[in-house]
Structure 1
């Protein structure tokens, strides 16, 4: 896992440190190295029910398998008389108050490492250490310079961003170098030496918290704005100065007198000297107002492509063949992880899962529920007699036999002396 590739998607910070989800395709050794080199920490150790509950919260909404800091050294066999089955923590030792092994743990004497699965109660699963998983769970600690959380009330809430750039949840204390934004006024603070410093702070650190520019003079730090804009009440973000309004690009400001004069494009209207797209339209990349009604129907997300707004899907899904506003599971390999697995309360260790069209659920491996491609050709797919069947991932295709080509609805011989079949 290279430093620039790993993505810290979410942190959970307690009084002593933070737990991080890092998403990238990675084996155990690379995951271990990433936690050390980039977070100055280590792969997570889950020694108590409290830490297990933190992981359940941290992985909520994620999918896939993630390495934790537990490994069976090479040359050793599992010891089923011990709680960790002979495995050792990445930080050393085998002390624990908790375990969450799956039913197959402790049967292999080869070198193994441990992962947890998002959505499966974070069950511990032993795997070959060179397996490529979806990411890793890291943890890093901080000293007494951490800050207490800021007060919240019904009128405003606080958004926390860790020093790694990820959103923080479940806060007890907050690491130094992290920032907090009080909404809805966007008042910024940075945690420094155990205290919250209100922006603008030192310009050398994150531009002083300023939206645009930061200047320092006689140890006084101030935010600056582009021409036509001035600082808002929070002293860090910018808005249009008096006599100016937001331009069509949504970023710059124009003189009020010019706003309506320039508002002449299709589906534009001028309201209170502000030029904007009419209801049901949004500004595209080329500055043209484009119909956006489909965006309110998209199941996952809406993107702007080739001059139009269209629905798009998150990873491992594709836009439905039957409805371009919904998403369906999608697999591009022979075998893939099952989708939307939900535990069955009446049957501990059992799950209901979904597979894409053309795939069938395989539960033969007790440590992993997968979807296997169905070979429609083997299952008597309905190709015409003059054509041969080709299996594809999730479907099949029919083509003419060698020496024949499709003409109309028939396969015709490419040899002039022969007829069609």
Structure 2
């Protein structure tokens, strides 16, 4: 009965080996194919092994000690491999990954972190993440000089207050406030939307807030959102911030990128822009003889030019012509 069990174990081991070789799988077996009478028979082939299931009248097989895995090489050779730490001797990636995580590999018979990964202070390998990029733990946030940042709200950032990511994203520099001297744009990132121009200033397209602590987006069109009037007047001459929208003061209207005094039909004017809100209406209303007038035959309810108005103008013109002719 014992012999049957023994041969069954050997048969299963052979089957597993053949299966693994066929499908490219690594084999980790409980016992080797190597027979033995004494522990020394096994140790001379691979340390951390012993002779298993042997006695005075029975030949055993070499087996790995607890904590070590067996890699069957052939019928006369095997190796018992245990976990290996960073820079420790290894033969298989598996040995390194047991301690260093899946981000480790066995390279030139020594464990190391894979390319794109690094060793953290806890003795494990982590994927390297740049400052500002997504992270899972502090271990991802590697910086130059074997320093580390911190994973905060899912992104790598500098550890200490007033530190900001340098332009290389693998080191930190002391941040500067608006108006303070600086050497590169990275130093100014304590305040969003800034750049370094000798000192930290608002970037193009932004204006300094009234309290001089933030940079606000400058409006480029009338009715853009705003918090302060400077946002409107930066690119829209004469515009003011009213109810969080860039508009013109009462009695003025937006024309192109500036506020123009408004003049209704029949009112005095100095330019056509005063009579119309946009250049496309210049064929409808014009400033003629110092007065805003509808162009003959043009209709625009918005501007106050309609058929009745044009008819009235035509009728008045006709009456004047008739009277003038009779006088002559």
Q: Highest relative contact order (Cα 8 Å, sep 6+), 1 or 2? A: 1
The TM-score, its normalising length taken from structure 1, stands at 0.20
Between structure 1 and structure 2, the one with the greater Rg is: 2
Greater share of strand: 1
TM-score (norm 2): 0.23
